[in-house]
Each structure stands twice: as structure tokens, then as C-alpha cells.
Structure 1
Amino acid sequence: MVIKPTPSFFKLYLPEHNSNKLLIPPPFIKYFNGCIPKVVKLWNLQGKLWKVKLEVVQDGRVYMTKGWNEYVRNHSLVRGDFLVFKPLNKSDFHVKVFGIDGVIKEEPVNTGVTTEAAASLGKDDVPQTLQFSKIYKPYNKFYVDLPKAVIEACEHGLPQKVTLREEKGCVVESVLRKITARFRLGGQGFNELWKKTKVKIGDKLDFEVILGEGRNIKEIRLKITHKSKKGKLAAEIAGGR
């Protein structure tokens, strides 16, 4: 399976423009592949979500409308707040809100009746895939840390053993361990995978976490892009990704 990571987008909150609706950057629309959902779900770090309607206007622009003002009110957004939207799939976005001081804002605890707690979600509300990328570094020979957003989205669905399936057919059983506040994917099969795929430092690793019922991890899929095949990796390494 070929994984195509979708880029994130950001918005600067300006009340006169964004209090009741939010324009999705037009260049981002192409990543919906012509299938713009009617509703998107905005997830925070605590695993809570807000459902927001999408509306397409005559000139093709797409706005978040009904439900967006509730999101604004629940998060106490003020002028200059900076929001980063990272897609989990075509209809789910993980959202981080940064204040004008550049520090991530404290998330709401009591979110009101328009916000649904993760524990109350039905099966149809669960994001079916989660994606993240890494640049292969020496310590990755032994393990890869799962991002916090993935851990929180999976809730209690974190098995001790996970199937790691590389796109060209290499499949290994990996172990998921908790190290302090982190969850690390590794094990003997991990080292075997790198040998078979001839991974080198600087190669790009695109992971796709496949979720099943109950938000359990079914398996993790992997696409490897070797550094020699993609010159842009140099810039990503320099940026510390």
C-alpha cells in the first residue's frame, strides 16, 4: 500500500473573519480528492471532538460553518491565536491551538453539550487511520516512539504486540512498550525489518496506524522512501523532523 501523507494547514484567528466560519486554504482542498465530506471532526489532545459542517460556496471555496462558533467559544479563541490542523483522514483533524505567546493553549475541560467525549463515540465516529512520519536516525534501529496524538486517539486500544507491514511485503511482529510517558514500538522483528529493507540514516518512514472496533490498533503499515530517491529529505533532516 502506498501511503500519501497529507500536509497540515494553519489558520490565524481573526474574530472579524473567523468567529462564525473558517475558510480552508484553497490549495488544501485537492487533498480531499474530489470527495469533500459534509462534516468534519476536530480532535484535541484529550481525545474530545467537535463536529463541524463543511459548506462549498459558488466559487469553490470550502468553509467550516455550523459548529465552528461552538469550537471558538469552547476554546476561548482570541485575536492572534494560531491553529494547526493535521488530518488523520479525510474527515478527522487533530487541532492544536497556540496563543499569541507561541505556547500551546490549555485545552477546555468542560466542553459543553455540543462537544462529544471520546468515550461516547459510536463505531462510525472512530478515525480508521492515523498517520505520522519519521526520519530514520541511529536509535530507530531499536525503536520508534509513537506520537502523543496517536496514543491519545487510540485510548485503551494499545496492544502489547503489533503487526508492522512494510508496503513491499516485509511483515514483522513488533512489541509496543510503555517507557515513562512514551510508547515505543520495537523488538527483534524491528531490527530484522531494517535489514531486509536496507534502511539508512536519513530515509523517510511514513507510518499508517490502522484502527479497528473499539479504537484498537489492528496493524501498522509502513512506507519507506530512501534518501537517494528524494532530495527534499535533506531539508526535512535539517529541520529536525
Structure 2
Amino acid sequence: MESIPRNSFFKAMINENFSQEIQLPPVFVRLHTEILPVKAKLRTSLGETWNVKLEKRSDNRYFFTGGWNKFVKYFGIQFGEFVMFTLSGNSIFDVTVFGINQCERKIDSSDSHLHEEQDMNGEEAGNITKSTSPLYVEILMKLHNKSRVHLRKEFSIATGLINQEKVVVEYVPNQSRHVIVLKRGEGRTDMTKGWYSFRKSNGLEYGKVYSFEFKPKKNVLFVNQMVINKRN
């Protein structure tokens, strides 16, 4: 069996704060301390690079921090997936994502268009209407969202959906409602049966970001496409 190169390491996305920071394995750090950069670049299979801060903390611990959360969000890296990092020199880490089925998950062009909306200074091309409410979450539609959508643990708890068997979901532009089954397991809450019909009938597109906002008084989960205000 071919071993993983010593300049590579795996990380399982199983910590609650995996979307905010990731610690590099201590053994990897010891092997490469002298060449670890302060600012790293994560390179996808498409050849695009993302700037990420490599922060050194006490006891010689290193973490991917600033910029990592954007990378996770844009490419839809989810709880339970695995990511392999390979240090390729010149501060570049090649990134490979493996889905929960243990197979490599390709990053397609529909994912990268969000990255292309950034200008040369790394700023977004427009302002997206957002909410800071714990009853609100944004989800990037991926190919693996064809028949189910994973709801973050914090969102599931705040909305109470973690204790429900079903939820009424409405797509705001069409005022179209569907009842979708909620399935739980291993700390996950997924919208499953009914999601495929909801997504298809309302034309939700892969590569676009949608907001999910729960209204307790109506007991309805409202879905809407994110609004991007273009610069003049």
C-alpha cells in the first residue's frame, strides 16, 4: 500500500469550529517548521489559490485561520468530510477534498465562480444581504445537494429543528411550499425526502448561495437566493 508523502496530512472536519480554523498535525509541523510560511496559499484542483493565514500559537502549534472560513464556505466543505493538504513549496498547499463517502470530491466550475467575483484586492464584487440571527444561515448549493441539504448544528439547535421530524419550507420568490423530512444521525440534521422536489420545482441552481431563515411563529423555513448588489 502506497503511503502518504511526509509533506502531506489529512484533517477530518469533525470539530465544531472546523469552519473557522484547522490545526496542523504536530508531527507535520516538526518536519517542516523551518519552511512554514506566515501566509499560505491553498490551491484547488482548478489551479486557483486562496490566501490563508498560518498562525503560530503556544507550544509551537500552527493553525490555518484568517481566510480559511471563506475557503470552507465557498467550496461547501461540510462536517464529516476529509481534506488532504500537500505542501508543494513556495507557501502553497494543494488541497484535495474527500466526501463522507470517502471518495475524492471534485471542485467544479460552478464552485469557482464565487471566487471569480472577488477583485484583485480580494474584496467581493458586491454586498450580500445578510442577517446575524441564529435562525439564519447561508448555504452554497453543491452537486451533492441534489437530494439533501445538511443544516449546521448551531442552526438546528437554535431553530429547534433538531427535535422535529418534518419542516415546512417556502421558496420566497415563488411562495411555493413543500414539507421536507428531517433526518438526524451522528450530530447531523439533514433535509432529505421532499428536498429534491422542492429544489427542482423552484429552480435552485448549483453554485449559487441561498439564505435559509426560520420563522418560529409561522413554523416555516424560508429560502431565498442571496441578493448581490453590483458596484457602480
TM-score by length of 2: 0.44
Structure number with higher relative contact order (C-alpha < 8 Å, ≥ 6 residues apart): 1
